[in-house]
Amino acid sequence: MIKLSDIELVKKSKKGDFEAFTELVRRYETKVYSIAYNYMRNYEDAEDILQETFLKSYISLPNFREEAKFTTWLYRICVNICYSKIRKKKIEVVLSLDSSIETAEEEVHREILDWSKNPETQLLAEEMREVLNKAIEKLPKEYKEVFILRDVEGLSNQEVSEIVNESIAAIKSRIHRARLFVRQEIESYFKKDSALMIPPKKITYNY
C-alpha cells in the first residue's frame, strides 16, 4: 500500500474521508501527547489535551492552508490549548486558596515524565531526572516553551519558530539562555551535594 503524505491525507480529510484523518491521528498522537505532558506534568491533563487537540484540528481543518506544514499547525494548536489550561488552573488555584487553605498543597508533588533518551548511568538517572525537571520548571515561560519543543521534543529551530511565531534568531537566543540556566542549575545541585562521589554526565546539545 502506498503511504500518503500528510498533505494528501489532509486533502482527503477535507472532503469528508474520516479514515484519512484517523491516519493523521495515528501518526502524531504520541508526539502530541508527549508535548502536552511536558507542559502539564499530569497524565489526565495530557490525555484531555490530546483529545481536544485532534478535535479542534478536525473542526478547523477547512481553514488549514495546505502550503504549510501540517505538524507545525497541529503542534501550535496543542501548545495553545496547554497554555489555556495552565491559565485556567492558575485561576482555580487562586480561587481555592481564597476559599480553603487545605487545597494549597495538593499539586506540590507531581510525577515527572523521563524525557532523557539515553541515561547511561543508572545510579544517577532518577536524581538527574528530578534535577532537570526542577530546572525546567524554574524557566520563564518564553524560555520554557522553546526548551520543551526544541530539546525535550526534538523539533527543529524552524519548527519551533513557526509554532511560537518568533524568528529563528530569537529561538536560538532563547534556547541558548535556557540551556545555560539548566546547566547552571545542574552544576549548582551537584556542587552542593558533597556526599555524591560520581560526577554528573556531561550534557550536550545538537544545534
On the question of pLDDT at 2 being above 50, the answer is: yes
On the question of pLDDT at 73 being above 60, the answer is: yes
Q: Are 33 and 75 in contact (CB under 8 A)?
A: no
**What does the pLDDT look like over 88-105, one tens digit per residue?**
877 654 444 344 434 334
In this structure, the number of other CB atoms found within 10 A of the CB of residue 159 comes to 19
- What is the model's pLDDT at position 125? 58
Copy the grid coordinates of residue 58.
478536525
What does the alpha-carbon distance between residue 48 and residue 157 come to, in Å, rounded to a whole number?
27
**Selection from 126, 146, 148 nearest residue 39 by Cα:** 148
**What does the pLDDT look like over 118-175, one tens digit per residue?**
444 344 456 777 778 888 888 888 899 999 999 989 999 999 999 999 999 999 999 9
- What is the model's pLDDT at position 207? 47
Residue-range domains of the chain with CATH: 6-103 (1.10.1740.10), 112-192 (1.10.10.10)
Contacts of 53 (CB under 8 A, 6+ apart): 32, 36, 74, 77, 78, 81
What does the alpha-carbon distance between residue 66 and residue 63 come to, in Å, rounded to a whole number?
9
On the question of pLDDT at 197 being above 90, the answer is: no
**What does the pLDDT look like over 22-40, one tens digit per residue?**
999 999 999 999 999 999 8
The CA distances from residue 113 to 58, 175, 206, in Å, are 28, 21, 21
